[in-house]
Amino acid sequence: MSYKSVDIVEYVERLANPEYQEKWDNSGWQIKNSADVSKVLICMDLTLDRVDYAIDNGFNLILTHHPLFFLGIKSIKDDYKSQMIKKLILNNIGVYSAHTSFDVSKQGVNKVLFDFLSLEDSEDLIITETKSGLGLVGKNKKFGDISELLRFLEENLLDDSYRIYGRRKKNLSKIALLGGSGASEMQAAIESGADVYITSDVKHHDAQFAYENDLIVIDISHNDSEKLALAWLKKYIEDNFDLEIKVLSENAFTLKLD
């Protein structure tokens, strides 16, 4: 069965309203068409390999979390991104991205991670310019100590490496989280009373700040912190459309060695 790409995207926007994206973001249509869609590909980031995969396997709509375009493009030549653009247009493949619009959704990236950890009594970690919550804080009743939490993450979530920072072991009464790059919100995690902050892209001086303020930080990869939401998005679409949907959740940028 096929549907119009615009109808599928309109349904996605009920979940991830583009009006809620941050000012610096570029959620929304990256390459728009009104094609008939029978197969949808969902992934975190778009690469040439994934464009070729879509072409070879008949996917005519790609939904990504991270936008294909962040900076303006002045010309289409033979560089990496231009090659993607040409292939997508020549093969009539639409691309739509739900980035911070999906992050702040009440059923978005952070809520999926929150539920995965079985946290309770959610509070917004910060309030964004759109007055929507970005990041969540919740009470922990599942994990007895930090070792138990790490073991759960290693067995059920993490494909990439991670780092943990902190000054001492402590009871895990409250856990804060922010999928994606959350180091800039370290102060908010401290003020929330969280014992542990799970996020990604933590730099050396961020780790030092957390250490000095007695906050345990689990710095997982950007991909691992957000990938659970891709499967949730798949189910959300399947509840309303009879489509073949494929999720590619692995890190697109990891070099695979023999």
226 is in an annotated binding site: yes
Q: How many residues does the chain have?
A: 258
103 is in an annotated binding site: yes
222 is in an annotated binding site: yes
Residue 97: how many CB atoms within 10 A of its CB?
26
User: Which residues does residue 220 pair with via DSSP β-bridges, in sequence order?
Assistant: 200
204 is in an annotated binding site: no
Helix axes 48-56, 80-90, angle to 10 degrees: 20
99 is in an annotated binding site: no
Residue 144: how many CB atoms within 10 A of its CB?
11
DSSP string for residues in 31-90: E----EESEEEEESS--HHHHHHHHHTT--EEEESS-S-SS------SSHHHHHHHHHHH
What SS3 class is residue 21?
A: coil
* Residues near 210 by beta carbon (within 8 Å), at least 6 away in sequence: 165, 166, 186, 190, 197, 202, 216, 217
Binding site listing for a divalent metal cation: 65-66, 103, 222, 226
Binding site listing: 65-66, 103, 222, 226
